A and B are shown apart, each in its own frame.
Chain A
Amino acid sequence: MARMKFLCDSNRCIDCNGCVTACKNEHDVPWGINRRRVVTINDGRPGERSVSMACMHCTEAPCAAVCPVDCFYTTADAVVLHSKDLCIGCGYCFYACPFGAPQYPRAGNFGSRGKMDKCTFCAGGPEPDLSKAEYLKYGRNRLAEGRLPLCAEMCSTKSLLAGDGEIIAQIYRERVHKRGYGAGAWGWQVAYRETVTT
């Protein structure tokens, strides 16, 4: 079985936000919810680096572990999803997520954040695959159609890779070897407890 992961090659990311736009458009994400975002370190200075970040679908996902109502589940592809019906909007998953993936639709004072929303690896949610209910709540289910996440598909420089962890690690390794340098797979140590050795 595939073990799905994201890898953002920060040497190639140009902060175009194509991934962000693709995700927002494809899943009809409401304003204010940022399933995917691009963060730029040392913006405008020599040594600027941009990384595209959404849910990393971690091994032993911290969000799933701390949820007081256990609304998370992991699919056979190791995609971490959750049920908005069970979610109580307590915010613990946001405290636990090392990458800030959980998003809440309301401004959150007095514990009224609303139901958590996050990147689903384009794999929908617990509703029946490709149903309207699933689309309304979780967005499009591309994995059920046999496709890969749209953010990686739309990346203009192919810095964002999504798919089976072994395959994308190999792609990255080959790139680093060919061009001679590589900043490493950002977030992999914290998310998957392993790095890509090049």
Chain B
Amino acid sequence: MRSRMAALVLAAILTVGAVPAMAQNNAPSPTGSNPTAQSVTEQQVLEQLGKVKGRGAIPDPKEAVLEQPQGREYQAFHERLLPWIGGIVILGMLIALTVFYLVRGPITLDERPTGVRIKRFTVVERLTHWMTAASFIVLAITGLNYVFGKRLLLPLLGPEAFSVWSQWAKLLHNAFVWSFLLGVLVTAMLWLKDNLPDRYDLEWLREFGGFFSHRHPPARRFNAGQKLVFWSVVIGGGILILSGIVLLFPISSLDINSLQTAQYVHAVFGMMMIAIIIAHIYIGTIGMEGASDAMVSGEVDLAWAKEHHRLWVEEEGARTPDGPQLGRTVPAE
């Protein structure tokens, strides 16, 4: 659409003939004629088409682009905007979590543990989770090296050692995509149904999970907070994988601008995902008593389950993919 419009405008201009003469700065030529009066100028082409493309002797179409000023925009994004985004999002999350831990403390079990353990996650679910998690950690660290490595690590390691580390970081980043992809797909398959929004989610979110009110809004197998993490991983992770694969196979996108766009998307979503997962790691380890048990051993105390996922216990019989494990109990309260 833009190129058609540009062609029309260009045709109009050349017909009128005014702009070429104005666009070239000149005194009247000695012979009175300018043999290149009909040619375009750099200014014209950049204004109309955004970049300068032509034809060359080289078969590779990327080499036929003479000038793409979007490279300067890429420089500004990558060196000024992106480190700020990353710094604010990641450091901000760390600071917020620290404040939360100091003010609220870990979320402890109000009732006494019954000693009865029920199954929370099956082996397959846990294996998938840890495979995805390990892949994400490697991808996050090696990915952050592209942005912050030269700022933070290079002064410590020196140029040669840092280059060797960065070379390996690049290879690891490109390799761990595949296990991350498998992990995200299997995670989506396993938990999609349990993460669909239900009528208890709004209340859970309104009370902020009861973190500050010391109440326990009811939830099924996954509460609204967990559902947010799930959808962030599936959608955010999916976008990261897709944009990353575009960057991984630059032959496939013949246009330099689409590669730049893929990079913008990949970098911004990467930073956001790192912040979200930091919060997820917090709540799963020190943030909540008994949470890590669920994903490490696969079992939780019945009191914990009733407190944090009451409807899962009472209405669904603490169902896992292996089936319900308790009979449908009459609500106690």
In-complex A–B contact (CB below 8 Å): yes
Chain A interfacial positions (CB closer than 8 Å to B): 10-11, 17, 20, 34, 37-43, 46-51, 53, 62, 65-71, 83, 85-92, 94-100, 107-111, 176-184, 186-187, 189-190, 197-198
Pair B30/A180 contact, Cβ less than 8 Å: yes
Pair B72/A62 contact, Cβ less than 8 Å: yes
Pair B55/A183 contact, Cβ less than 8 Å: no
Pair A86/B248 contact, Cβ less than 8 Å: no
Per the CB 8 Å criterion, the residue count for chain B at the interface is: 65
Expressed in whole angstroms, the minimum distance between the Cβ of B234 and any Cβ of chain A is 25
Pair B251/A109 contact, Cβ less than 8 Å: yes
Decide: A88 near B167, CB < 8 A? Known: A37-B56, A68-B146.
yes
Set B58, B65, B74, B163: member contacting A34, Cβ < 8 A: B58
17 cross-chain CB contacts under 8 A: A10-B39, A11-B36, A37-B63, A39-B52, A39-B55, A47-B20, A49-B54, A62-B74, A86-B160, A86-B163, A88-B163, A96-B74, A99-B67, A100-B62, A183-B24, A184-B41, A198-B26
Asked if B289 is at the interface (CB within 8 A of a chain A CB), the reply is no
Pair B42/A183 contact, Cβ less than 8 Å: yes
Interface residues of B in 232-248 (CB under 8 A from A): 248
Expressed in whole angstroms, the minimum distance between the Cβ of B178 and any Cβ of chain A is 11
Set B34, B248, B251: member contacting A180, Cβ < 8 A: B34
Decide: A180 near B259, CB < 8 A? Known: A42-B39, A49-B39, A95-B74.
no
Pair B26/A181 contact, Cβ less than 8 Å: yes
**Bound-complex Cα distance A184 to B70 (A):** 21
Pair A17/B57 contact, Cβ less than 8 Å: yes
Asked if B260 is at the interface (CB within 8 A of a chain A CB), the reply is yes
Decide: A34 near B63, CB < 8 A? Known: A43-B55, A68-B150, A182-B26.
yes
Set B52, B58, B154: member contacting A37, Cβ < 8 A: B58
Collect the chain B residues with CB atoms within 8 Å of residue A181's CB. 24, 26, 29, 34, 36-37
Number of A-B contacts (CB under 8 A): 188
**Bound-complex Cα distance A108 to B251 (A):** 7
Asked if B66 is at the interface (CB within 8 A of a chain A CB), the reply is yes
Pair B72/A190 contact, Cβ less than 8 Å: yes
Pair A96/B250 contact, Cβ less than 8 Å: no
Pair B54/A39 contact, Cβ less than 8 Å: yes
Expressed in whole angstroms, the minimum distance between the Cβ of B182 and any Cβ of chain A is 17
Asked if B292 is at the interface (CB within 8 A of a chain A CB), the reply is no
Chain B interfacial positions (CB closer than 8 Å to A): 14, 20, 24-31, 34, 36-43, 45, 52-58, 62-72, 74-75, 78-79, 145-147, 149-150, 154, 159-160, 162-163, 166-167, 170-171, 174, 248-251, 256, 259-260, 263
The 9 A-B pairs with the shortest beta carbon distances in the complex, nearest first, are: A180-B29, A62-B75, A47-B38, A98-B71, A41-B54, A39-B54, A181-B26, A47-B39, A39-B66
Decide: A70 near B159, CB < 8 A? Known: A11-B36, A47-B14, A90-B170.
yes
Decide: A49 near B24, CB < 8 A? Known: A66-B75, A91-B250, A96-B75.
no
Collect the chain A residues with CB atoms within 8 Å of residue B67's CB. 53, 98-99, 186-187, 190
Collect the chain B residues with CB atoms within 8 Å of residue A98's CB. 67-72
Chain B residue nearest to A90 in the complex (CB): B170
Decide: A90 near B40, CB < 8 A? Known: A39-B66, A43-B55, A180-B26.
no
Pair B56/A40 contact, Cβ less than 8 Å: yes
Choose among A111, A177, A189 the residue with the greatest number of B CB atoms under 10 Å from its CB.
Answer: A111
Chain B residue nearest to A177 in the complex (CB): B27
**Bound-complex Cα distance A33 to B88 (A):** 40
Decide: A109 near B249, CB < 8 A? Known: A39-B55, A96-B71.
yes
Collect the chain B residues with CB atoms within 8 Å of residue A49's CB. 36, 39-40, 54
Known A-B contacts: A47-B39, A111-B248, A179-B30. Give 18 more (CB < 8 A).
Answer: A11-B36, A38-B56, A39-B63, A43-B54, A50-B54, A51-B54, A70-B159, A92-B146, A98-B67, A98-B69, A100-B62, A100-B65, A109-B249, A111-B174, A176-B25, A181-B24, A186-B66, A190-B72
Collect the chain B residues with CB atoms within 8 Å of residue A68's CB. 145-147, 149-150, 166
Set A71, A99, A197: member contacting B66, Cβ < 8 A: A99
Choose among A87, A100, A177 the residue with the greatest number of B CB atoms under 10 Å from its CB.
Answer: A100
